[in-house]
Amino acid sequence: MHPLLPHLGQAAGHPALVTPTATLGFPELERAALAHAGRLAADGLRPGDRVAIWATPDAATVAAIVGQVLAGVATVPLNPAIGAKELPHVLADAAPRLVLAADPAAFRERTPQVRGISFDGPPAAPAAPAPEDPVLVLYTSGTTGPPKGAVITHGNAAFDLDALAGAWGWTAADVLVHALPLFHVHGLILGVLGSLRVGGSLELLPRFTPEAVCDAFARRGTLLFAVPTMYHRLAEHAEASPADARALGRARLLVSGSAALPVRENDRLFKLFGQRVVERYGLTEALIITAARHDGPRTPGTVGPPLPGLDLRLVDEQGRRLARDPELLGEVIVRGPTVFSGYLNRPDATAQAIDAGGFFHTGDIASLTATGELRIVGRKATDLIKTAGYKVGAGEVEAALLEHPEVREAAVIGVPDEDLGERIVAFVVPYPGAAPAPQALIDHVAGALAPYKRPRAVRIVEALPRNAMGKVMKKQLGEMA
Ligand code: MLC
Ligand code: AMP
């Protein structure tokens, strides 16, 4: 029995994975995964090596990732829409032994070394990973600089998933529906590894549309994982389609996370679906650290209590622990088995993020309610933007804009948005005589980084508001936007 995926190979009586083109039971999934692992071993890969994979949402990609889990090889998932500037950085930093894709032809131009996933290897004997062995390297943005690779271990994932299964009564009887990308914690660890770990059924939708999600619930879904932008679009859809509202309302549990769900939206969902969405909070480096329970209070505006086994605290600017008092705001810090082992090749950044006591500093500002639920109110750094559930550093967008030949200065902010939570807006000062078209600059960022990092609006200005020190006053930009 594999320590992370104990149900693999067991006859469950229901499929492990359903996509529009494939249905795999646990035994079939294990066979495919072991054949892939065998092929990797025959190619000389050893536990601890890294393999990058273009994270397209299909059964072959999931089976390959599972095979890599069994082989003890760490997976580096690549966003299929990753930009031209970011891809070389990730490949150089992660230095994967192989780059794989379910459809290699689609990625050959960007990665000439890419290979197809093949399930014709001699079945491998699964490796027995230790809890501290890496399972995934997930690239995540900071305020400035290129994304860093967060190294997540087998132990991190197993502990977190068990805590969430406990909080949500998540069992083999559940059918999880998700349409999240497979290159972040939410879709890959919670969605894919979580469903397989509890032995449930995973219905993986290759692309999010409200219709496809409601249809999956009309057929057999019991559990939904989605970001607030998806819930917003589901609400818009359900208001016009009562039958779909009823289908989703029959869900056992609707879970929201990765970004703030406004109270007003939460109430709207409650009216539409007849049940309160369950919120949970986390981040790439510490996985999910708080969650409302299926049988506990679901207080709008809060993200539930800390998961059992984690030491979560609020600290003031001097690092002093704050008492549990709804009036006291502090930074969330957390210590425990879900905290990652560090950033790949970045001991400096790791030392900055994890203090001497082993606490990871999240950068999120929150208070604790009298009943111990976390209420997130903001972020320490204004230069981190959450848009449609994706984290984007203002600095990386500014750097991409500055590489455009017509851009002399650039400043990027997040502006509140009903659909996206925050919308990326760029202010650009062109070189004298230049007149860049806003759409050209938007396309430039979408191509250099990834479409989700593109500004939704670009304002051409003569100068940026700066203080006496020459620093751009982003608050003023917010008022201008
Ligand atoms: C538009 N597009 C462009 C473009 N303008 N492409 C290139 N250049 C341009 N200038 C394209 C987009 O690529 C996309 O293409 C289409 O237009 C629509 O884009 P969109 O409106 O931006 O997004 P959409 O496809 O509608 O997706 C919305 C969404 C998505 C909510 C489904 O944002 C999403 O999946 N978010 C989830 C993020 C997530 O999983 N976060 C978890 C992080 S983990 P095309 O071809 O695709 O149509 C974490 C920890 C935790 O946070 O706690 O969970
Ligand atoms: P990422 O690095 O992409 O994993 O994003 C992590 C960040 O998303 C956290 O630091 C929070 O700022 C934010 N986040 C995640 N879940 C929630 C939530 N339920 N409510 C508010 N913010 C959230």
Q: Residues 9-48: pLDDT tens digits?
A: 898 899 999 999 999 999 999 999 999 999 999 999 999 9
Q: Which of 263, 382, 391 to mutate to test the pocket of ligand 2 (most atoms within 8 A of CB)?
A: 391
- Ligand closest to 362 (CA) is 2
98 Cα: distance to centroid of ligand 2 (angstroms)? 31
Q: CATH 3.40.50.12780 in the chain: give the residue spans.
A: 17-196
392 Cα: distance to centroid of ligand 1 (angstroms)? 12
Q: Residues 265-305: pLDDT tens digits?
A: 999 999 999 999 999 999 999 999 999 999 999 999 999 99
95 Cα: distance to centroid of ligand 2 (angstroms)? 28
- Ligand closest to 445 (CA) is 1
Q: What per-residue string of b and e applies to 339-363 under the rule 16 or more CB within 10 Å gives b? A: bbbbbbebeebbeebbeeeebbbbb
Average pLDDT score over residue span 107-121: 96
- How many CA atoms are closer than 13 Å to the CA of 49, on its beta-carbon side? 18
Residue nearest ligand 2's atom 5 by CA = 283
80 Cα: distance to centroid of ligand 1 (angstroms)? 11
pTM passes above 0.85: yes
Residue nearest ligand 1's atom 24 by CA = 208
| Pocket around ligand 2 at a 6 A CB cut-off | 140, 185, 257-260, 279-284, 303, 362, 364, 376, 379, 386, 391
Average pLDDT score over residue span 58-72: 97
Average pLDDT score over residue span 130-158: 96
- pLDDT recorded at residue 127: 84
Q: CATH 3.30.300.30 in the chain: give the residue spans.
A: 384-480
pLDDT band at 468, cuts 50/70/90?
very high
Q: Which of 367, 399, 331 is nearest to 141 (CA)?
A: 399
CA 189: distance to chain centroid? 9
In angstroms, the CA 248 to CA 254 distance is: 9
What value does the mean pLDDT of the chain take? 97
- Ligand closest to 261 (CA) is 2
- pLDDT recorded at residue 92: 98
258 Cα: distance to centroid of ligand 2 (angstroms)? 4
Return the C-alpha torsion angle 61, 202, 262, 303, nearest 10. -100
- pLDDT recorded at residue 144: 86
pLDDT band at 124, cuts 50/70/90?
confident
258 Cα: distance to centroid of ligand 1 (angstroms)? 14
- pLDDT recorded at residue 418: 98
The CATH architecture of the domain made up of 384-480 is: 2-Layer Sandwich (3.30)
Atom of ligand 1 minimally distant from the CA of 227 = 37
pLDDT band at 1, cuts 50/70/90?
confident
106 Cα: distance to centroid of ligand 1 (angstroms)? 19
Report percent pLDDT > 90 for the chain: 95
Q: Which of 164, 256, 258 to mutate to test the pocket of ligand 2 (most atoms within 8 A of CB)?
A: 258
> What are the residues facing 139 on neighbouring strands?
149
Atom of ligand 2 minimally distant from the CA of 390 = 3
Atom of ligand 1 minimally distant from the CA of 186 = 54
| Pocket around ligand 1 at a 6 A CB cut-off | 81, 180-181, 184-187, 208, 227, 229-230, 257-258, 282-284, 388-390, 442-443, 446, 451-452, 454
Report percent pLDDT > 70 for the chain: 100
Q: Residues 215-236: pLDDT tens digits?
A: 999 999 999 999 999 999 999 9
The CATH architecture of the domain made up of 17-196 is: 3-Layer(aba) Sandwich (3.40)
pLDDT band at 406, cuts 50/70/90?
very high
Q: What is the DSSP letter of 86?
A: H
> What are the residues facing 101 on neighbouring strands?
116
Q: Is the pLDDT of residue 128 over 90?
A: no
Residue nearest ligand 2's atom 3 by CA = 391
pLDDT band at 365, cuts 50/70/90?
very high
Residue nearest ligand 1's atom 54 by CA = 258
- pLDDT recorded at residue 229: 98
Q: Residues 170-214: pLDDT tens digits?
A: 999 999 999 999 999 999 999 999 999 999 999 999 999 999 999
pLDDT band at 238, cuts 50/70/90?
very high
Provide long-range contacts, Cβ within 8 A and 24+ apart, for 274-278.
Answer: 274/249, 275/249, 275/251, 276/300, 277/231, 278/168, 278/253, 278/254, 278/304
In angstroms, the CA 152 to CA 173 distance is: 28
Strands (DSSP E) contained in 394-434 are 407-417, 421-430
Q: Is the pLDDT of residue 121 over 90?
A: no
- pLDDT recorded at residue 379: 95
Q: Is the pLDDT of residue 114 over 90?
A: yes
Average pLDDT score over residue span 80-97: 98
Atom of ligand 1 minimally distant from the CA of 190 = 54
Residue nearest ligand 2's atom 13 by CA = 259
Q: Is the pLDDT of residue 382 over 90?
A: no
Q: Is the pLDDT of residue 308 over 90?
A: yes
- pLDDT recorded at residue 11: 87
Higher pLDDT, 143 or 431: 431
pLDDT band at 309, cuts 50/70/90?
very high
160 Cα: distance to centroid of ligand 2 (angstroms)? 16
